A and B are shown apart, each in its own frame.
Chain A
Amino acid sequence: MAMAIRSLLIFLFILSLTVPTFSLHEDQVGLMDWHQKYIGKVKHAVFQTQKTGRKRVLVSTEENAIASLDLRHGEIFWRHVLGANDAIDGIDIAMTKYAITLSSGGSILRAWNLPDGQMVWESFLQGPIDSKSFLFVSTSSKVDKDNTILIFGKGSLHAVSSIHGDIVWKTDFPSESFEVQEVIQHHDGNTIYVVGFVGSSQFDVYQINAKNGELLKHDSAAVDGGFSGEVSLVSRAKLVVLDAARSTLLTISFQSGEISFQKTYISDLVEDFSGIAVILPSKLTGLFAVKTNTATAFISVSSEGKLEVVDKIKHATVISNVLSISEDQQAFALVRHGGNDIHLNVKQVHDWNSDLLKERIKLDQQRGLVHKVFINNYVRTDKSHGFRALIVMEDHSLLLLQQGEVVWSREDGLASIIGVTTSELPVEKEGVSVAKVEQNLFEWLKGHMLKVKGTLMLASAEDVAAIQGMRLKSSEKSKMIRDHNGFRKLLIVLTKSRKLFALHTGDGRIVWSLLLNSLRQTEACKNPTGINVYQWQVPHHHAMDENPSVLVVGRCRAGTDAPGIFSYVDTYTGKELKSFGLDHSVAQVMPLPLTDSTEQRLHLLIDANGQAHLYPRAPEAVAIFQREFSNIYWYSVEADKGVIKGHGLKSNCDGEVADNYCFGTREIWSIVFPSESEKIISTVTRKSNEVVHTQAKVIADQDVMYKYISKNLLFVATVSPKASGDIGSATPGESQLVVYVVDTVTGRILHRMTHHGSQGPVHAVFSENWIVYHYFNLRAHRYEMTVIEIYDQSRADNKDVLKLVLGKHNLTSPISSYSRPEVTTKSQSYYFTHSIKAITVTSTAKGITSKHLLIGTIGDQVLAMDKRFFDPRRSVNPTQSEKEEGILPLTDSLPIIPQSYVTHSHKVEGLRGIVTVPAKLESNTLVFTYGVDLFFTRLAPSRTYDSLTEDFSYALLLITIVALVVAIFVTWVLSEKKDLSDKWR
C-alpha cells in the first residue's frame, strides 16, 4: 500500500514537472484579470424593512438570480444564481428573517436567511398540472400566527410553514383548469378567499379555511363576454377585469356570498379610445390603471362599484408597488418620461391630487425607458417621510433614486451577453510623451525603489501593500491607446437588452455604451432582437485616420423568417454610423474572407428563402465577390429534420426588381440522418480566423505527420432520439452517440464513429486538425472526453529530402476539396470528472504557442488543460523518444490540477461562453468569459517565452550593471596599486 502511494506520489511529482501550469501567485491576482459581478434584469424587488436589514433590498432577476443589494452603494451582499431552467416566479420576505423564493413553475419553494443568504429550507410542491404560480406571504403577523405561506402552483393551493418549510395543507380545486388570480385573506384570519377563472368565461370564488385548507364555500358565475386574463384587485371584495375583446371593464364584487358584475365601456370613460386596452398590474385600493393606445388612465372605483377617471397621462408611465406608510395610508410611485428627464411622483392612494414627493431626475439617454419601479420609504432627519425608488430601465440597468438624484446605478444588462467581438484601440498619436504617464520623476524613482526593495526581500508589509496597489492601478494597462503587445483592446459586447457596450480589457471599465435605436420597438418591428455583432471594418492601411466599426445584425422578432436589421457602430466613439431595416430575413450571416478597398469586410447573408445577399451593397464589393463566386460554399443544419445540406451559389436571383446584390443558391449535397436512430445535437466548426503555424508534426522517430488542415470541416454529433433527454432517461442499450467529421464543400464524411451506451449533451471544440468533445458514458457512469486527430496521408511521402530539393513534392500545389482525401484519424477517450458548460481553445497570433483547452465547468469556473493530455498517441509506457516528444503516459482519466483554474478564486456565475482572442505577442492569449458575471484574463499557455514579464525590474538590471562597471574600475585601480607596491618591494 505504501508502495502504491509512493509510486503515485512520484508519478504526480513527475507530472507536475512536465506539465506547465500557469498557476498564479497570490500577489498576481488582479494584475491582468478582472471580474465583474452582475445579477441581470430585476423582475421583482422587496425592501427589507426591519432594523438591521433596512439598508438592503432583495431582488430576483430574469437571469434566475436572487440577490441582496446594499441600498447605499448597490453592491451585492449575497447572491445565488439558480439553474438556467429554474425561473423565479416570486419572492417575498417571511417572518422578517427569511427570503422566500418560488421557482420552477411553482414547484420549488426555498427560504434563505436574509443576513447571509444561507439556504434555510427547501420544499418541493407537487401537483397534477402546470399552471400559473403565485406566492402569497401574509404581511401582518397579527393575523397569521402560524406564519404560513400560501402558494398556488401546479394547479393546487399549498400552505407551507415558513419556519421549517413543511406543507401544512394542500387543497386541490374541483375544476382542473381553475386559474387562481388572487388570494385574499379575510379580516378574521380564519378564511381565505381564492378567486380565479375557469376557462375564459367562468368566474369562481372559493372560501377556504385558513387552518386546514378545507373548502368552505364555492360560488361561480359565467360571463358572456369572456376574460382577457388581466385582473386588478381594488379592494378585498372587488376585482376589475378586462373582457376578451379588451374594450369593456367588468367590476366583480364577490365577498357578500354572491357574485355581481358591473359592465363599463372604456369608451365611456376615455373619450378617444379605440383599439385595445391593457390593465397595468397594480394592487392599489380603489384605484387601477388602464393603458390604451393614446394614454394611461387612472380610474378610481367607489364602494358602489362606480368607475371614475381621475387622471390621464399621455407619456409612458410605470406604476410602482404599494407601500403602506402608516396604518391607513398607502402610497405608490408613478414614473413618467418628459423630455430628457423622468418625473417621479409619489402619491397617496386615496388622494390623487396631493403628491407626497415630486421629483425630476436627469438620466442618461442611453438607458431608454423605465420598465419597473419599486419604492421604499425612510424617515428623514426631520422625521418626515422620505422616499427612494429603485427603477429598472430598458437597458436592464438598475438605478436607485433618492432626493432627486441617481444614488447608484448597476449595468445589469451585461449579465445577458449574446454576442462578443473585439476592436483595436486607437494608435498612439504623435506628441504623447512618456513624462505625461509617469507623472513626475520622484514618484517614478520611489516606485522603483519600492520594487527593488521588494525584489531584495527588504520590504516591510506596508511596502508590499504599496507595491501591490501600484501594480494594480498601473495606468499602463488601462490606457486608451494601442499597446505594442496587443493586450489592450476593446471588447464590444451586445446584450439581450439591445445595448452595445465597449469594455476595456485592461480593467473592464465601460468605455462607451449605446442603446441601439434601430433595434428598438417600432410599429413595423414589434419585438426586435439582436442576433450577433460582427467586425465590419478593421482599418490597417488607414489606421491613423479611420475608425474601425462593427456591424450589429438583428431581426424584428424571433424566428428566422422575420426581416433583418443592420446597424453600423463606430467602435472608438460609440456612435451609430447608420442603420437600416432589410427587406429580407436573416437565417445565416457569413463574414467572407474578402475586404473591399476601404477594408470593409464582405458579408453574405442567407435569408429564409435560401437566397444570398451580399453586403456592403456596392458595385466594388460585387466585383470582388464575382472573382470568388464559384468557390463559395456553405452548409445549413436543420436539426429538427435531421438534415445537413451543402449549398453553392447560382446566378443572380430572379425577382421583380433586378438586384445585383442578391444571388440564387442551389443544393450541392445533403446528409440525411434516419429519424428513428439519430438526432443532431451538436455541430461545431473551426474558428474562421484561426492561424495554424505548421502543417507538419514531427514525431518521436524523426518521422513527420501532416495535419489535415481544412477550414471547411464540420463536426456533427448525433444521439439516438430516446437518449436526447436528460442523463438517465435512456438505458445504455438504447442510447448511442455517433460523431461525424464532414467536409462542408463536398459533403464527404471523412470520419464516422459510434460510441455505444453514450449520450449527450455534447460539447465540442474544433481546432487545427483535432476535435475534442465531451459526453456522458452511461455504461461507465462517467463523463468522457474523446479526441479525434485527422492526418493527411497524401502528403506523407513528402518526407524525402531529395524530393524536396528537386522540387518533386506536392506541398505547394493548391488543395482542392474535390480531390479524394486520404486521411487517417487517431482517437482516444478519457474519463473526465466534471460536467461542463462550455469548451473552447486558446488562440494565439501565429499559432506557434501550444494550445490549452479552456473548459467551463459546472462549478462556473474555467479550467485550462494542456492539449497534450488529449493526445491520442498517449500510451501506457511511452518510449524514451516519445517522452522526449512530450507524450504523457496514458491514464484513464484526465487530471484536474487545482492550480490550472484560470478563474482562480472567482466564479463566473451562470457561465455561458468563453471567447479567446489572440494578443499581438505570440505567447499570450486573451480570455473573456461571460455569463451572469464577466471575467477576463490573459493567459500564456507556454509561459511568456518571447518577452520579459511585466514586473521585470529594469532599474535593478541597470543598477547591477552600473555596480559591476564601478566594481571593475575599483578592482582595476586596486590591482594597479598592488602591482605598483609589489614592484617597489
Chain B
Amino acid sequence: MEKAAWLQVFALLLVISPLHAFQSDELDEEFGLEGGNLQPHERIPDPVVPTRSTPNRVKYSDSDSDSKIQITLEHAFGDSDFFPAATFSARLKTWSHGAQTLTKLRFSRNSFTEVEKQKFQKLLEDDEFYRIRLPSNVLNPPGKDFVISSVRARCLPRDGLDEHFVIHTEGVNILAVNYGSPGACPYPRQLKLPAKWSFNSHTVLKNSEQAPRTPIFAEDLPGEQGEGVDVPPPERSFWAKYWMYLIPLGLIVMNAMTQAMNMPEEQATGQSGAQPAAAIQRGSSPAVRRR
C-alpha cells in the first residue's frame, strides 16, 4: 500500500514537474526594464553623431567569464536607410560548458533629432512603417544578416513614444526582435502626435523554453493504480445503478394504474378519441394486454 502511495506521488511529480521545469531551468531569462523611468536623453547628454560611421561596435571587458558588449539598434523611417538609434548593453555570460548567453540587458535610446522628428511626423501622417534592426550575431555583427522588425508609426505615440522590444536570443545570436507598442493598437489607427518626443522603452530578452516532457508511466502503472483505488469507483446514484429495473417496473405500475383507472371509466369510454390514442402512443404492449 505504501509502495502504491509512493508511486502515486512519483507519478504526480512527473506530471507536475514539467510545468515548473522551465521556471527553474531558465536562469538566463532576465528582464531589463530600462529607460522607462529615466529620460534617455538625460542620461546621454549628447547623442554622439560621429559613432554613426561605425554602426556596430563590440566592446569586451577584461573578465573572462563575463564580458560586456554593446549592440547597436538602427532605425529607418519608411523605406529610408538605417541609422543608429540606440544601444543595448548586455553582459555576455560564458557558462562552464562553453555556451554563451546574454544577460542583464540595458537600453539607452538616443532622442530624435529635429530631422528625425520631421521624418517621424511624416510617417504618422502616411500611416507608414517605422523600422528597426539589430545584428543577428552580437559577437561579429551583423552576423548572417540583420533581423528587422517594423511597426506602423501610429501605434507608438501615447503621451510620449511608447515602445516595447522583445529580443529572442539563442546564445550569442539574435533570432528576432519584435517591436511594437506595449499595449493595444486599435484598428483603424488614428493620427495622434506625441505630446513629448521622448521614448518610453520596455525591453524583454527571451530565450527558448523547454518543452514539457512526455509523461512517463511505469510499465505496470495501470495495475498499481488499480490497487491504489482498490475500492470500486465512486458510488453511483441509486437511479444510475438500477434504471434498467426501474423503468420496466414503472411501466408495469403505470399499466396497472391505467387499468385501474379504466374500471371507473368503463362507463365513460369513447367520449374522447384522444385518450385511447395516448394509451397506444405510450407503447402498444399495454394496449394489447388490456384487450
**Chain A residues within CB distance 8 Å of chain B:** 1, 3-8, 11, 630, 641-643, 648, 650, 666-675, 677-678, 738-739, 746-749, 752-756, 777, 780, 784, 786, 794, 813-816, 818-820, 827-831, 875-876, 890-892, 964, 967-968, 971-972, 974-976, 979, 982
Contacts and interface: CB of A to CB of B under 8 A. Distances in A.
Given A829-B212, A964-B280, 4 more contacts: A674-B137, A754-B211, A786-B211, A964-B284
B125 interface: no
Contacts of A738: 208
A749 B185 CA distance: 18
B143 to A, nearest CB: 7
B208 A674 contact: no
Interface in B12-29: 12, 15
Contacts of B285: none
B178 A747 contact: yes
B25 to A, nearest CB: 10
Contact of A818 (B176, B180, B216, B276): B180
A677 B129 CA distance: 31
Nearest to B219: A4
Contacts of B146: 670, 672
B183 A819 contact: yes
A669 B277 contact: no
Of B11, B144, B224, the most chain A CB neighbours within 10 A belong to: B144
A752 B183 contact: no
Contacts of A976: 270
B151 A672 contact: no
Contact of B150 (A668, A754, A827, A964): A668
A7 B208 contact: no
Contacts of A670: 145-148, 176
Nearest to B150: A668
Of B180, B184, B186, B211, the most chain A CB neighbours within 10 A belong to: B211
A6 B174 CA distance: 55
Contacts of A3: 223, 226-227
A601 to B, nearest CB: 24
Q: How large is the interface on B (under 10, 10 to 19, 20 to 34, 35 or more residues)?
A: 35 or more
Contacts of A967: 280, 284
B12 A643 contact: no
B216 A892 contact: yes
A813 B187 CA distance: 8
A7 B227 CA distance: 9
Nearest to B227: A3
25 contacts: A3-B226, A668-B150, A669-B176, A671-B175, A672-B147, A672-B174, A673-B175, A674-B143, A674-B144, A674-B173, A677-B173, A746-B151, A749-B178, A752-B168, A753-B208, A756-B211, A777-B214, A816-B189, A829-B211, A876-B12, A892-B215, A967-B280, A968-B276, A974-B291, A979-B270
B170 A816 contact: no
Q: Identify the 10 closest CB pairs spanning chains A and B, nearest first.
A: A4-B223, A7-B226, A674-B173, A818-B185, A819-B184, A672-B136, A816-B187, A829-B214, A671-B176, A748-B178
B158 interface: no
Nearest to A818: B185
Given A964-B280, A975-B270, A667 B148 contact: yes
Contact of A753 (B129, B137, B209, B266): B209
Contacts of A667: 148
A901 to B, nearest CB: 24
B181 A819 contact: yes
B47 interface: no
B209 A675 contact: no
Describe A's contact surface by its main secondary structure: mixed
Contact of B208 (A672, A752, A816): A752
B150 A831 contact: no
B138 to A, nearest CB: 11
A666 B79 contact: yes
B270 A677 contact: no
Contacts of A746: 149-151, 178, 180
A1 B223 CA distance: 7
Contacts of A813: 186
Contacts of B225: 7
A674 B170 contact: yes
Interface string B252-291: 0000000000000010011001001100100010010001
Nearest to B172: A674
A876 B11 contact: yes
Of A667, A672, A748, A827, the most chain B CB neighbours within 10 A belong to: A672
B176 A749 contact: yes
Contacts of A673: 175
A814 B187 contact: yes
B217 A818 contact: no
Contacts of A630: 127
Interface string B42-79: 00000000000000000000000000000000000001
B210 interface: yes
Contacts of A648: 129
B152 to A, nearest CB: 6
A794 B184 CA distance: 10
A749 B209 contact: no
B166 interface: yes
A816 B184 contact: yes
A713 B289 CA distance: 67
B215 A971 contact: no
A971 B269 CA distance: 12
Given A672-B136, A971-B276, A754 B186 contact: no
